[in-house]
Chains A and B, each alone.
Chain A
Amino acid sequence: MDRQPNRDASRGRVCLRLFQVFFLASSLTFAGGLAMLPLIRRDLVERFRLVSDDDMTEAVTLSQTLPGIIALNCALYVGKRVAGWPGALLAALGTLLPAVAAMLAAVALVSRLPDAPWVRGLLQGLRVAAAALILSMAVQLGRKVLVHPVFLGVAALAFVLVAFFGVSVLPVVLGSGLASLLYFRFRPRSFPGRKSGEA
């Protein structure tokens, strides 16, 4: 089966293609970047054959391991691999443009909502849904990540520091990383293995 990337196309055309693929994927996915990845894989690997299957798998893994926006990480990795920095920039631009433009349009519309009782009720309903959504996100991620007492302690401390003492996220996340690093540096055998580091 010939699934090798197409290396003949000129760099300019490849860059435009990258822009097109990421622009489309970003315009068509609603609940976040993770959902974009299957669309991107289909277009890049199967439709245009710009990227090999292995490279795409690598891109998907890496973009989820690194901090930051998953779809953007993927755009930069694939773009740079296929067409260097111009490719990376155009793929990133394709990811960013629809998201920024659509949100700007939405904010302009929403700011014109009237101040009626049903609007206040609607907003309170949304607020309740948002709270439930974020809490269930914490539960779901927690089940996957908190597989060692050290992680549980770190998460609990982070919660208390941010919720009750107003500490900002940068020191909290860096401190969490450092605490775990130091602990497992001296007790490497108790580290729960690669699985908890992924996701």
Chain B
Amino acid sequence: MPIPLILFLLFFQIGLVGFGGGYAMIAMILTESARAVGLTAAEFAQLSALDLVIPGPIAINAATYVGFLKGGLPGALLASLGVSLASFVYVPAAMAFLDRFQHSRILQYGMAGAKAGAVGLILSAAWLLTTGAFLRDGAAWASLMERPLETVSPGAVVLFAVCLVSILRFKVHPILVTLGAGLAGAILLR
């Protein structure tokens, strides 16, 4: 199958199950694109930084980015269309059955579960990213026991802890955290 078409189908799927807002969808985009079109952790890192400084909804930005990287301009347009398409199905349907939609217990049970599943998905994206972010260039986890300091970058681990605490504990804005970490990386992690 041509890559733009693969991208279209991939992002259509992500839109269909995109519970939990933009960051949840970003997590799905990472895990799925890594599997289906070989998106690397470095490419994803660039994406999540760009996403915060580029205007527009996060998931559309992300679809455009991955689409362009893996399938050029057709890939970018088809991925963006794909991730948007689900809304064209859900919104009119929900509007037509608004009363039943809001009062259906069954739907509420199902959607609450889907949201819980989305939390697990975001967690797995965090896992994928963290394990990638701690490794030095070209190192693999296999050498952790013999040469720990040549495998894992202690600076990255410390920076990670600082970022996490500033977001969760001190509610620093994600844009500031991202810019600060980029700057710290350029100076300290070279």
In the complex, what residues of B have CB within 8 A of residue A128's CB? 133, 156, 159-160, 163, 181, 185
A66 touches B27 (CB 8 A): no
Query: Which residue of A27, A67, A98 is within 8 Å of B15 (Cβ)?
Result: A67
Q: Distance in Å from the Cβ of B15 to the closest Cβ of chain A?
A: 5
Query: Which residue of B16, B56, B164 is within 8 Å of A170 (Cβ)?
Result: B16
B113 touches A99 (CB 8 A): no
A179 nearest CB neighbor, chain B only: B113
Stretch at the interface among A4-12, A41-49, A151-159: A151-159
Beyond A100-B80, A123-B42, A158-B121, is A145–B18 a contact (Cβ under 8 Å)? Answer: no
Q: CA separation between A69 and B20, bound complex, in Å?
A: 9
Query: Which residue of A156, A166, A169, A181 is within 8 Å of B17 (Cβ)?
Result: A169
In the complex, what residues of A have CB within 8 A of residue B98's CB? 62
Interface of chain B, main secondary structure: helix
Q: List 14 A-B contacts (CB under 8 A).
A: A32-B58, A67-B86, A96-B84, A103-B68, A121-B186, A123-B185, A124-B185, A126-B49, A132-B167, A133-B178, A184-B112, A185-B109, A192-B112, A194-B108
Interchain pairs with CB closer than 8 A, number? 395
* Size category, B interface: 35 or more
Q: CA separation between A115 and B129, bound complex, in Å?
A: 22
B residues near A (Cβ < 8 Å) are 13-28, 30-32, 35, 41-42, 44-46, 48-50, 52-61, 64-65, 68-69, 73, 76-77, 80, 83-84, 86-88, 90-92, 94-95, 98, 105-106, 108-130, 132-133, 137, 153, 156, 159-160, 163-164, 167-168, 173-175, 177-178, 180-190
A122 touches B186 (CB 8 A): yes
Q: CA separation between A125 and B159, bound complex, in Å?
A: 8
Beyond A65-B111, A129-B178, A169-B28, is A151–B133 a contact (Cβ under 8 Å)? Answer: no
A residues 120-170 near B (Cβ < 8 Å) are 120-142, 145-146, 150-152, 154-163, 166, 168-170
Q: CA separation between A26 and B135, bound complex, in Å?
A: 36
B117 touches A155 (CB 8 A): yes
Q: Distance in Å from the Cβ of A43 to the closest Cβ of chain B?
A: 16
Interface of chain A, main secondary structure: helix
Query: Does A82 sit at the interface, judged by CB under 8 A?
Result: no
- Interface size of A by CB at 8 A reads 104
Q: CA separation between A4 and B169, bound complex, in Å?
A: 43
A residues 39-91 near B (Cβ < 8 Å) are 62-73, 76-77, 80-81, 88
B119 touches A124 (CB 8 A): no
Query: Does A177 sit at the interface, judged by CB under 8 A?
Result: yes
Q: CA separation between A49 and B50, bound complex, in Å?
A: 34
B188 nearest CB neighbor, chain A only: A121
Known: A127-B44, A132-B163. 15 other contacts (CB 8 A): A29-B56, A63-B91, A69-B15, A69-B84, A72-B84, A73-B91, A99-B54, A118-B187, A125-B184, A126-B185, A135-B123, A168-B13, A173-B121, A178-B113, A183-B109
